[in-house]
Chain A
Amino acid sequence: MICAPLPLTTLGDDVGALDRLCARAEGDIVLVGHAYAGAVIGAAKFERVKLLVYVAALAPDEGETVADVFYREEPHPKAPRLAPDGNGFIWMPPEGFENAFAQDAASDVKSVLLATQRPIHAKCIQEKVSPAASGKTSRPGFSSPRMIG
């Protein structure tokens, strides 16, 4: 098991990083994506990928962006307002971890999440998923929707 080092600069960059990691793996591959990374695993093109697992994740279809599915429904009242900074990167504010990202976590865990977070560039959520890249038709999907938060 290994965590893919996604640069979080564009969706294409992230898919490229995942495909390079898959090339290093042996045998059948199971990809697990959390949140935004659901879009990345859905777009991975590597042949030996046998299963996609979405954990509280986003799964844009062909021609959709991550933002399209993320903002499909009215956000939860406690969801943080997310906006890119002057360099185009989106950072989770402290109250985001407190109220919406990991509200069930212990306070020290939330502090670590806040301190070690990696910002995501707006391009990641604005880039359309290219045709035949979504996980919808070619492979079995498996989703674990969360119910609260």
Chain B
Amino acid sequence: MIPAKTQHFQAERMRATARAHAVDHSPMLTAPNVVVDVLLEAIRNTVKDA
């Protein structure tokens, strides 16, 4: 749904940490383990006492 080029453009301009995976537009349904891993990594690196 959202071109990868657009997603990388957005990530770069907000200086985000990006993680790219070969998934469809709804990875929380079709690749939930990938999404959970990305979330846990982001939370551990950002939120104190996580």
Interface size class of B (residues with CB under 8 A): 35 or more
Cα A73 to Cα B6 with chains together (Å)? 7
Which residues of A are found within 8 Å of B42, using beta-carbon distances? 30, 51, 53, 142
Is A23 at the interface (CB under 8 A from chain B)? no
Q: Given A51-B46, A55-B28, verify A144-B20 contact (CB < 8 Å).
A: yes
Could you tell me if B10 and A59 are in contact, using CB atoms closer than 8 angstroms? yes
In this complex, the member of A34, A56, A136, A147 whose beta carbon has the largest number of chain B beta carbons within 10 angstroms is A56
B residues 1-50 in Cβ contact with A at 8 Å: 1-11, 13-31, 35, 38-39, 42-43, 46-48
Cα A69 to Cα B4 with chains together (Å)? 12
Residues of A within 8 Å of B, CB-based: how many?
45
Closest to A145 in B: B7
Which residues of A are found within 8 Å of B17, using beta-carbon distances? 140-143
Is A61 at the interface (CB under 8 A from chain B)? yes
Of the candidate stretches A4-12, A83-91, A95-103, the one touching chain B is: A95-103
Could you tell me if A75 and B3 are in contact, using CB atoms closer than 8 angstroms? yes
Is A24 at the interface (CB under 8 A from chain B)? no
Could you tell me if A72 and B27 are in contact, using CB atoms closer than 8 angstroms? no
Q: Given A101-B1, A141-B15, verify A53-B28 contact (CB < 8 Å).
A: no
18 residue pairs A–B, Cβ–Cβ below 8 Å: A30-B42, A30-B46, A55-B38, A56-B23, A56-B26, A58-B10, A69-B6, A75-B3, A101-B25, A102-B25, A103-B24, A104-B24, A105-B30, A143-B7, A143-B18, A144-B21, A147-B20, A147-B22
* Extra inter-chain contacts (13) besides given A35-B2, A58-B2, CB under 8 Å: A50-B46, A51-B43, A51-B47, A55-B27, A73-B6, A76-B1, A79-B1, A100-B24, A101-B25, A104-B24, A113-B26, A144-B21, A148-B22
